């Protein structure tokens, strides 16, 4: 079953206020858009993600939307929510069996809730997460206000009064994600009627929409009053993690022979030298060791699994690009790089003049600042093939944190 996820982030969040668009609002150091997108990229049932952004943001999307191990596309939203979802739906793969729609403003959706909603839609055709009402529910109505002194009623204002009390056991508060078989959502999006969510559009076409138990912390950030609650949820979620899951370490090692007729590329920098490293790609040993370290920290395999030297698509490939892809793979597993440390063992050439450029390249690929990247050069004191200048070895360590 192929599952596509649409993240609706086309609004500006005027009720929230502030100078920045709501999707870029940061909660405990992470934008709510990044939190929502990462939840779906990290989910094993989701095969691709399409993000609908306001046109100006879609033209220059945040960096975290530009690197991903899974297919991720960004589209410009429309004037209404359903227009944004329709624009994103047009970019969904033709292979999609299930399409999940989620509000970017709900950054704390859990993998379990995503799983339950997808499973319900696969079984029933349409499903949405919802919470049962806990309070007694009243339906209100406007009545003309009776003025004092026997004057005519002033119907333009009116009093808000109770029309009826609704049985709360049948009242549910809708959330996202909402999931649908592709054809059902396609037909619903053809409607010109304006509705506040996709489930309402599907209801109008006559399809039943199954209710899936939502989560109380899956809040929608809409007004300034929601921000302190979101901050508290973020702190609580992080505090509830096991320490071993929050920070993880990976190690990497690479070894290449020196040969004539090849450029010497280390850390994305081409170093003037009479020989280079032998390999299927550009043989950048720093990036290869770091790729293994980052993948290892996320328990996501190794460089040979993702970029095998038997694959013609990786022949001559830029290893900085492979490192960037590895960081994206770690992101889909729910981890981001904190810092890295590298030791390059080479008799010649001297690496010191190129260290800063290497650090900048590696930092850009990993999505960190250069002060989070350490690269050191060592010799082998003339011992062995490295000491004879016949080879270069690299050791790397990567620290990652849970998103």
Domain termination residue (choose one: 182, 208, 240):
240
What's the pLDDT at 243? Answer: 47
> Model confidence at 86, in pLDDT bands (50, 70, 90)?
very high
Identify whether 334 is part of a domain: yes
Tens digits of residue pLDDT in 170-196:
999 999 999 999 999 999 998 877 887
Does residue 149 form part of some domain? Answer: no
Q: Which of 195, 225, 240 is the last residue of a domain?
A: 240
Contact 130, 178 (CB under 8 A): no
Structural domain includes residue 393? yes
Report pLDDT for 244. 46
Please give the order of strands across the beta sheet that includes 335-345. Answer: 275-277, 247-260, 391-402, 335-345, 373-378
- The answer, yes or no, to whether residue 154 has pLDDT greater than 60, is no
Residues 179 and 47 reside in one and the same domain = yes
Same domain, 325 and 305: yes
Q: What is the pLDDT of residue 29?
A: 79
Helices (runs of H) and strands (runs of E) counted in the chain: 13, 18
Number of structural domains (the chain) is: 2
**CATH number assigned to the domain comprising residue 382:** 3.30.1330.50
- The two structure tokens encoding residue 232: 């508290």
242, pLDDT greater than 50: no
Task: Assign 26 to helix, strand or coil.
Answer: strand
Specify if 154 maps to a domain.
no
Give the whole-angstrom CA distance, residue 63 versus residue 249.
24
**What's 104's domain CATH number?**
3.90.550.10
Whether 144 is covered by a domain: the verdict is no
Given a cut of 60, whether residue 60 has pLDDT beyond it is yes
C-alpha closest to that of 9 among 122, 104, 107: 104
**CB contact at 8 A, 159 and 145:** yes
238: pLDDT strictly greater than 80: no
Angstrom CA distances, 379 to 3, 229, 340, 348, stand at 51, 54, 20, 8
* 286 pLDDT higher than 90: yes
Do 94 and 112 lie in a common domain? Answer: yes
Answer whether residue 333 is part of any domain.
yes
CA 244 to chain CA centroid, nearest Å: 22
Same domain assignment for residues 194 and 119:
yes
Q: Mean pLDDT, to the nearest integer, of 75-80?
A: 89
151 domain-assigned: no
315 and 223 within one domain:
no
Q: What pLDDT is recorded for position 159? A: 84
- Classify residue 70: in a domain, yes or no: yes
The rounded percent of the chain whose pLDDT value lies above 70 is: 92
pLDDT at 311: 83
Do 233 and 313 belong to one domain? no
**Whether residue 63 is found in the same domain as residue 208:** yes
Q: Which residue has the higher pLDDT, 156 or 359?
A: 359
- Band (pLDDT 50/70/90 cuts) for residue 17 is low
218 in Cβ contact with 114 (< 8 Å): no
Average pLDDT over residues 67-85: 88
Both 262 and 229 in one domain: the answer is: no
- The predicted pLDDT at position 15 comes to 62
- Does the pLDDT value for residue 13 go beyond 70? no
Confidence of residue 330 (pLDDT cuts 50, 70, 90): confident
Residues 307, 200 share a domain: no
Relative to beta strand 126-132, strand 210-213 is parallel
Looking at 176-180, 221-225, 292-296, which range is the least confident one? 221-225
Q: Are residues 292 and 181 in the same domain?
A: no
Same domain, 298 and 182: no
For 38-42, 131-135, 197-201, 238-242, which range has the lowest pLDDT when averaged over its residues?
238-242
State the Cα–Cα distance between residues 33 and 38, nearest whole angstrom.
Answer: 8
- What's the confidence (pLDDT) of residue 68? 76
Most trustworthy range by pLDDT among 4-13, 23-32, 144-153, 202-211: 202-211
Cβ atoms of 286 and 342 closer than 8 Å = yes
For residue 149, the model assigns a pLDDT of 54
Query: Beta-carbon neighbour count of residue 226 at 10 Å?
Result: 16
- Which pLDDT score, from 0 to 100, does residue 147 have? 59
Predicted confidence (pLDDT) at residue 151 exceeds the cutoff of 90: no
Q: Is the pLDDT of residue 27 over 80?
A: yes
When pLDDT is cut at 50, 70 and 90, the band that residue 51 belongs to is very high
What is the pLDDT confidence band of residue 247, given thresholds at 50, 70 and 90? confident
Mean pLDDT rounded to a whole number for the chain = 89
Tell me the average pLDDT across 343-350.
94
CB-neighbour burial class of residue 127 (10 A; exposed 0-12, middle 13-18, buried 19+):
buried
Q: Where do the H-state alpha helices sit in 198-318?
A: 198-204, 226-240, 243-246, 285-297, 303-306
Q: Mean pLDDT across the stretch 334-352?
A: 93
Judged by average pLDDT, the poorest of 28-32, 56-60, 113-117 is 28-32
Q: Whole-angstrom Cα distance, residue 375 to residue 353?
A: 12
Task: Answer yes or no: do 113 and 260 share one domain.
Answer: no
Q: Within 13 Å, how many C-alpha atoms sit on residue 178's CB side? A: 25
Cα separation, 118 vs 100, whole angstroms: 7
Q: For 101-112, what is each residue's pLDDT tens digit?
A: 999 999 999 989
Residue with tokens 């892809």: 325
Nearest to 257 by CA among 285, 230, 235, 295: 285
pLDDT(35) > 70: yes
Does residue 154 contact residue 145 with C-beta atoms inside 8 Å? yes
Question: According to the model, what pLDDT value does residue 98 have?
Answer: 97
Domain boundary among the residues 240, 273, 296 is at 240
b/e map 333-370, b = 16+ CB within 10 Å = bbbbbbbbbbbbbbbebebeebbebbbbbbbbbbbbee
Domain containing 338: what range? 244-402
Single pTM value for the model: 0.64
Q: How far is 335 from 69, CA to CA, in rounded Å?
A: 13
């Amino acid at each position: 079953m192929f599952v596509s996820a649409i993240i609706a982030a086309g609004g500006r969040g005027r009720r929230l206020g502030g100078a920045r668009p709501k999707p870029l609002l940061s909660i405990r150091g992470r934008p709510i858009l990044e939190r929502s997108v990462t939840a779906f990229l990290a989910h094993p049932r989701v095969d691709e993600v399409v993000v609908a952004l306001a046109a100006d943001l879609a033209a220059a999307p945040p960096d975290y939307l530009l690197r991903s191990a899974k297919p991720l596309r960004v589209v410009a939203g429309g004037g209404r929510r359903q227009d944004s979802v329709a624009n994103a739906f047009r970019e969904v793969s033709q292979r999609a069996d299930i399409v999940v729609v989620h509000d970017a403003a709900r950054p704390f959706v859990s993998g379990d809730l995503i799983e339950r909603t997808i499973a319900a839609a696969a079984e029933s055709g349409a499903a949405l997460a919802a919470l049962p009402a806990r309070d007694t529910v009243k339906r209100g109505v406007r009545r003309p206000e009776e003025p004092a002194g026997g004057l005519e009623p002033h119907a333009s204002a009116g009093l808000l009064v109770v029309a009826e009390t609704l049985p709360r056991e049948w009242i549910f508060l809708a959330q996202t994600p909402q999931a649908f078989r592709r054809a059902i959502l396609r037909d619903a999006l053809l409607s010109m009627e304006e509705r506040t969510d996709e489930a309402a559009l599907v209801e109008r076409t006559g399809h039943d929409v199954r209710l899936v138990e939502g989560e109380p912390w899956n809040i929608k950030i809409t007004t300034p009053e929601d921000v302190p609650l979101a901050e508290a949820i973020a702190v609580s979620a992080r505090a509830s993690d096991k320490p071993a899951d929050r920070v993880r370490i990976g190690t990497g090692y690479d070894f290449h022979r020196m040969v004539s007729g090849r450029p010497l590329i280390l850390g994305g920098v081409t170093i003037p030298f009479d020989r280079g490293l032998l390999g299927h790609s550009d043989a950048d040993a720093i990036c290869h060791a770091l790729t293994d370290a980052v993948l290892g920290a996320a328990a996501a395999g190794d460089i040979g699994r993702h970029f095998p030297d038997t694959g013609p698509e990786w022949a001559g490939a830029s290893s900085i690009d492979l490192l960037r892809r590895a960081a994206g793979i770690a992101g889909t597993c729910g981890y981001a790089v904190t810092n890295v440390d590298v030791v390059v063992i080479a008799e010649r050439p001297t690496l010191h003049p190129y260290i800063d450029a290497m650090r900048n390249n590696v930092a850009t690929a990993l999505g960190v600042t250069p002060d989070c990247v350490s690269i050191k050069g060592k010799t082998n004191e003339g011992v062995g093939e490295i000491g004879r200048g016949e080879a270069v070895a690299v050791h790397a360590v990567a620290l990652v944190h849970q998103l």
